[in-house]
Amino acid sequence: MSQNMKYIIFFFIGIIASSNAQNFIFDNLKEAPVNGGLEMKDYWVWGSSVIKGEDGKYHMYASRWPKFLPFHPGWMVASEIVHATSNTAVGPYQFQDVALGARGAQYWDGRSCHNPKIVKYKDTYILYYMGSTHPFEDVTTNNVSEFDLSSKFCIAARWGKRIGIATSKSPNGPWTRQDAPILEVKPNSYYSFLTSNPSPLIKDDGSVILLFKGRSYKDDGISNSDMSIGVATAPSYDGKYTVVGDKPLFSIDHFGEIEDPHLWNDATGFHMIAKDQRGALTGGQGDGALAHSIDGLNWIVDKNPKAYTKKVKWNNGKTIVQGQLERPFVLVENGKPTHLFFATMDGTGGFGNGTKTWNMVIPLKQ
């Protein structure tokens, strides 16, 4: 079957599936359990990724950093990736250990590990994440008043954001980290400033498709651009990663600016869910957007792309517009999406207006 014919079939499958419905995520959202997910006292918690282990437990990997730091940009200098478990997909998840923590300013990921995504290939668990470092003293309660986006800590840490992997034979670790990122920046490209927020998919033959966020330097050589989403491939998870093409998949100039893409596949092809940063795809700023592809490299926005909004129905009878709702993650079991995880925050919106964060989950109707 030709590539063009595959696109035509996939396109008409999408039309038929959407003729009487919004989409397979939006139409199947159940109530969110109040006590689901993961929350940790004295920590900001963000961005979870979940996998079911051979032990029958659900293993969550999430970011956390101490609450004496401001939520943003505290994660840039003190985030660590923690491991939590539950006997059910919805949780609540119980903290087990720190999977990836600080390991010294001399390492590319020595100060901060953030935005984990867990996958498994054969007998190996692979934890994709963003890492960063800076050469200065630790930010503590004594000098936190000097800490903000314009401080030396953040200037260095933001510039140093890169994507890497850690591997283990068990979801409980220990994890082997690499001494270099898997995806570096490239001068005069849409990712000349940083690479971040990995979303991997390992195909049956072991090759990898990796979506990632990039920012470029602006013409002033100091400030950075808005977000773009690109795609890289590798022959194996520990092989060489190569960015495909010179233009991003999604940007302000193409489809619209999105963040936090999550990638999975099924019998019909590849699917992406992401935060619609400005509302260009869904009409709602911060709502979830869906796109699809037959190869992971060329993407089409779904006909009815809105996957969720920040208005959440909870199982205590309340409906609340969350202050933030980000980092969507789709848990797939037996080839079908079963749960949708988010990083969320209370408050009226904006990172500076929340008092707590946690990772929440919404089951999907089967």
Take residue 57 and report the two structure tokens written for it.
Answer: 């437990």
Could you list the pLDDT tens digit for every one of the 366 residues in the chain? 555 555 445 545 554 444 457 899 999 999 999 999 999 999 999 999 999 999 999 999 999 999 999 999 999 999 999 999 999 999 999 999 999 999 999 999 999 999 999 999 999 999 999 999 999 999 999 999 999 999 999 999 999 999 999 999 999 999 999 999 999 999 999 999 999 999 999 999 999 999 999 999 988 777 789 999 999 999 999 999 999 999 999 999 999 999 999 999 999 999 999 999 999 999 999 999 999 999 999 999 999 999 999 999 999 999 999 999 999 999 999 999 999 999 999 999 999 999 999 999 999 998
Look at phi and psi of residue 22 and say left if phi exceeds 0, alpha if psi is from -120 to 50, else beta: alpha
Distance, CA of 16 to CA of 282 (rounded, Å): 20
Distance, CA of 33 to CA of 362 (rounded, Å): 7
User: Which amino acid, 62?
Assistant: A
341, 90 Cβ separation under 8 angstroms: no
pLDDT score for 18: 42
pLDDT score for 6: 52
- Nearest 5°: phi and psi at 152? -60, -35
Q: List all residues 6 or more positions away from 222 whose beta carbon is below 8 Å from its beta carbon.
A: none
pLDDT score for 32: 98
User: Which amino acid, 109?
Assistant: D
pLDDT score for 248: 98
Global pTM?
0.93
pLDDT score for 20: 53
Strand order from edge to edge, sheet including 94-100: 43-52, 58-66, 80-86, 94-100
Q: Cβ of 78: how many Cβ atoms within 10 Å?
A: 24
Distance, CA of 43 to CA of 71 (rounded, Å): 9
- Tell me the CATH class for 183-309: mainly beta
pLDDT score for 75: 97
Q: Where are the domains of the chain?
A: 31-181+322-366, 183-309
Q: Cα 41–355–279 angle (5° rounding)?
A: 120
Q: How far apart are the first and last CA of the chain?
A: 32
129, 163 Cβ separation under 8 angstroms: yes
pLDDT score for 2: 54
pLDDT score for 19: 44
Q: For the segment 311-344, what is each residue's pLDDT rounded down to a tens digit?
A: 999 999 999 999 999 999 999 999 999 999 999 9
pLDDT score for 43: 98
